[in-house]
Amino acid sequence: MNYSFDASKLIDELSADIAEDGNVDVWGYWIVMDNGQEIYFDYYPLDDPELENEPDYKSVSDFDKKVFETYPNFLRKKIKAKDLLEIFKKENETI
């Protein structure tokens, strides 16, 4: 059994970020499902001054805490924004 994930919103957000900031490194968040499949479900910019005034998301560690509430076994890694966008598009195709 393969899992699917609706990444439409993330595709739109990340596409806009790429248009504005270019192909920068971002933190890609994913989980490993019980069948070994990796599902990427969110991302966070490495350094985003626009988020400094957001109380829940002012640092990657704060964002990690919010992610942990829903996905306690999450993983994250640095990845180029365009590479993550391609992953989101592939995930979205399976729906």
For the stretch 13-71, pLDDT in tens is 999 999 998 999 999 999 999 999 999 999 998 866 666 666 655 678 888 998 999 99
Q: Would you place residue 2 in the very low, low, confident or very high pLDDT band (cuts 50, 70, 90)?
A: confident
Q: In whole angstroms, how far apart are CA 33 and each of 7, 47, 65, 94?
A: 16, 29, 20, 15
Say what the pLDDT of residue 60 is.
82
Say what the pLDDT of residue 7 is.
93
Say what the pLDDT of residue 47 is.
66
Say what the pLDDT of residue 56 is.
58
With contact defined as beta carbons under 8 Å apart, do 42 and 29 qualify? Answer: yes
Provide the strand spans (E) within 1-95: 25-32, 38-45, 75-80
Rounded Cα distance between 51 and 17, Å, is 13
Say what the pLDDT of residue 86 is.
96
